[in-house]
Amino acid sequence: MKTDLLKQQTDASLAALKFDNAFVRELPADPNLDNRVRQVHGACYTRVLPTPVAAPQLVGFAPEVAALLDLEPAACTGEEFAQVFVGNQQLPGMDPYACCYGGHQFGNWAGQLGDGRAINLGEIVNRRGQRWALQLKGAGLTPYSRRGDGLAVLRSSVREFLCSEAMYHLGVPTTRALSLLLTGELVIRDMFYDGHPKQEPGAVVCRVAPSFTRFGSFEIFNSRSDIDTLRRLLDYTIRTEFPHLGEPSAAVYLQWFEEVCRSTATLIVHWMRVGFVHGVMNTDNMSILGLTIDYGPYGWLEDYNPDWTPNTTDAAGRRYRFGNQPQIALWNLAQLANSIYPLIEQVEPLQAALQLYGDGYKQGWQSMMAQKLGLQSFEPATDLTLTTDLDQVLRLVETDMTIFYRRLADLAPLEGQDDERLLAPLCDAYYQPEGLTEAHKLQICTWLRSYLQRVARDGVDTVQRRQRMNAVNPKYVLRNYLAQMAIDRAETGDFDLIKQLLEVMRQPYADQPGHEEFAQKRPEWARHRAGCSMLSCSS
């Protein structure tokens, strides 16, 4: 009796979610409700319900994201929550739909893509007046599912759930993740597309963001010369997500594009700061809000290698390798510029806006590097050489990027230090410290000396420099092998490591004594293990 009462109370807070579905209200709908794979014209979305599943089971939820929706943690553990956020039940006010969008995949126009396995539940407005769209990933077929099954497996859902939240706490703009549920059903996946299909547990993540609109959302209408829908989508986007720009007009469209260029530059600077490789920077995976979106075969740089891509599908061309991300973002922005050109009909201002990206990225990167190194500001006269040489030093032998920067903050001032003492704090950053030759040591120490001289010229004391550096150089990132260990355990029904990682990643810059195990460099077993060093788009 008592527990029944309690259950009603917690369920009641779910019912209090206030839906206000502006996207479906304001934008053209597909009049066809037939949930069959097809081309959809003249519409931004198709109404579609999630496919019910057998046995939803909560794996985890993020209390901070629940709070954005005004949900108490207790409301997230009940039966109703599981039914709703796996897609079996709809709350009053929900109006589920899948979006139509297109995109350039690996540099080629791919035509209509769309939400093939994402179903939007609607938008809520919280007590602070913020609008949040809720979206289930892996909730079944939609007209945009193409050859896919509309489903997601546990391994990729754990990765999306944990990384969305880890990125948020690192200060990187991102979509959020409310919940992760098992569906109680099995899904067949051929992980490396090499003729070894396996059954895997199915799962659903509920993603949360102000909007999930992508570059490809605009590209699809331009590609079809559907200028009317293109304009409606852009006007809607400006009115709801960029209201500070004022009433839509050709001049405002341009300002909007400039803002997308700036926020994209900021986003990529953050990725480069923390060592994140998205892995599939197709234009359908680029958010117009400058958020990290669509966590697929992403990875974290462990040993610093700008040529690394986690995505086996990208192994040949390495288009989406770490060091290429800034160029690719520009290329993607150029596609977005092309797609809104019919609304502006002037090339030069669009080109000037793309230049804003280039300038914004360069400036952002320089001040980010200055912060990573604990410098007051980036002084090109000295610091261009300093950072170029650092790049060489980091590539010299396998060097853990995260540990290297963290340990760099511990270096004492130069006076009286011989090479051995200078290098000591950094030893842990090397995957094979015993493999460092005298020549390597000399090159590293030469750089360390010029760095410490530069620091001395800045006049910031050691304690303050350390604090500043530790505020931008994380100690904890969601290392590829950590996520994989959490997946391995979750596949046996043990969700503890997911919870622990979620908790540790909430304070990535804090020392967190007792949690050092999550700050260790990649163990040898993970070097060539699937899921740790190699991933694919199959998820």
What are the catalytic residues?
A: 284
Which range, of 51-59, 145-153, 501-509, 515-523, touches ligand AMP by CB under 6 A?
Answer: 145-153
Cβ atoms of 298 and 219 within 8 Å: the answer is no
Q: Which of 78, 116, 275, 299 binds ligand AMP (CB under 6 A)?
A: 116
CB of 28 to ligand AMP, least distance (A): 20
**Tokens at residue 91, please?**
């709350």
* CB of 143 vs ligand AMP, minimal distance in Å: 11
537 contacts ligand AMP (rule: CB under 6 A): yes
Q: Nearest approach, Cβ of 103 to Mg ion (angstroms)?
A: 8
User: Are the beta carbons of 495 and 451 closer than 8 angstroms?
Assistant: no
Contact at 8 Å (CB) between 70 and 202? no
Minimum CB–partner distance for residue 50 and Mg ion (Å): 18
Determine what percent of the chain falls in helix, strand and coil, rounding each to the nearest 5: 50, 15, 35
Residue 113 binding partner per list ligand AMP, Mg ion, none, with a CB distance cut-off of 5 to 8 Å that depends on partner kind: ligand AMP
Structure tokens at 161: 């759930």
Residue 374 touches which of Mg ion, ligand AMP, none (Cβ within 5-8 Å per kind): none
Q: CB nearer to ligand AMP: give 112 or 263.
A: 112
Of 296 and 374, the one with the shorter C-beta distance to ligand AMP is 296
Smallest Cα–Cα separation from 82: which of 127, 4, 136?
A: 136
Check binding of 264 to Mg ion (CB under 5 A). Answer: no
Rounded to whole angstroms, the Cα distance separating 216 from 432 reads 44
- Can you name the residues that pair with 205 across neighbouring β-strands? 137, 180
Least Å distance, CB 410 to ligand AMP, is: 40
Q: Using CB atoms within 10 A of its CB, is residue 164 exposed (0-12), middle (13-18) or buried (19+)?
A: buried
> Does residue 285 belong to the site contacting Mg ion (CB under 5 A)?
yes
Determine if 53 is a binding residue for ligand AMP (CB under 6 A): no
Task: Establish if 294 lies at the interface with Mg ion (CB under 5 A).
Answer: yes
- If one counts every other C-beta atom within 10 angstroms of the C-beta of residue 265, the result is 25
**Comparison of 46 and 282: residue with beta carbon closer to Mg ion:** 282
Q: Which stretch binds ligand AMP (CB under 6 A): 140-148, 207-215, 441-449, 486-494?
A: 140-148
Applying CB under 6 A, does 160 fall inside the site for ligand AMP? no
Question: Which of 72, 149, 241, 428 is in the footprint of ligand AMP by CB under 6 A?
Answer: 149
Q: Pattern of binders to ligand AMP over 58-97, x per CB under 6 A?
A: ----------------------------------------
Count residues near ligand AMP (CB under 6 A): 18
Q: How far is CA 159 from CA 20, 59, 369, 379, in A?
A: 30, 13, 28, 38
484 interacts with ligand AMP by CB under 6 A? no
Residue 40 · residue 32 · CB < 8 Å: yes
Contacts of 267 (CB under 8 A, 6+ apart): 172, 173, 290, 291, 292, 329
Q: Which residue is nearest to Mg ion (CB)?
A: 294
- Give me the 282-321 binding string for ligand AMP, x by CB under 6 A, dash otherwise: --xx--------x-x-------------------------
Q: Give every CB contact of residue 177 below 8 A, 6+ residues apart in sequence.
A: 62, 65, 160, 161, 162, 164, 165, 205, 206, 207, 208
Asked if 480 and 300 touch (Cβ cutoff 8 Å), the reply is yes
- Picked from Mg ion, ligand AMP, none, the partner binding residue 145 (CB below 5 to 8 A depending on kind) is ligand AMP
DSSP bridge partners of 303: 400
Cα–Cα distance for residue pair 402/132, rounded to 1 Å = 33
Q: Which is nearer to ligand AMP, 206 or 373 (CB)?
A: 206
Task: State the residues that interact with ligand AMP by CB under 6 A.
Answer: 113-117, 144-146, 148-151, 280, 284-285, 294, 296, 537
Task: State the residues that interact with Mg ion by CB under 5 A.
Answer: 285, 294
